[in-house]
Amino acid sequence: MSSPTKMKVAVKGVYTEVKILMQHVMENGRRKDDNGNIIPAWYISDFKVKHKDEVVFEGQFGTSVSKNPYLVCRILGAAAGEKITVSWVDNHGEQREDEAVIE
């Protein structure tokens, strides 16, 4: 079970700042456990930021993104009280979607 993505979204003048903290181990597939066995790669591969069902910002991650990926983007044409949705999928096919209200 994955944990909810933490979000803080606020209008800052002309743009809306979207601060995102996804919860994920982001294993790079090269680390070893205490018994010397390789820990398999496990990472968020794709994410999308949506406003009113429109994808406004999206991207792909590799294994060089830090554990619990942190992301800030700036979007246009959104207003306080509206919702922003963040969804991700990892290389195991696990996915989740969370939303936040713009302040």
Partner 1 sequence: MTIQERAEVDLSRRNAMKKAGNLGLLGLLASIGLTPNLAEAGLSAAAFDAKSLDAALDALGGLIATENAAIQITAPEIAENGTVVPVTVDCSLAQVEQISILVEKNPTILAAHFVISKRATGFVNTKIKMAQTSNVIALVKANGKFYRTSKEVKVSAGGC
Residues forming the site for partner 1 (CB under 8 A): 15, 28, 30, 46, 51, 54-67, 69-77
Smallest distance, partner 1 to C-beta of residue 11, A: 14
Comparing CA positions, the residue from 3, 79, 7 lying closest to residue 49 is: 7
**3-state SS assignment for residue 46:** strand
**Residue 67 or 92 with smaller CB distance to partner 1:** 67
Contact 28, 64 (CB under 8 A): yes
Smallest distance, partner 1 to C-beta of residue 101, A: 18
Smallest distance, partner 1 to C-beta of residue 19, A: 9
**Residue 65 or 98 with smaller CB distance to partner 1:** 65
Contact 43, 90 (CB under 8 A): yes
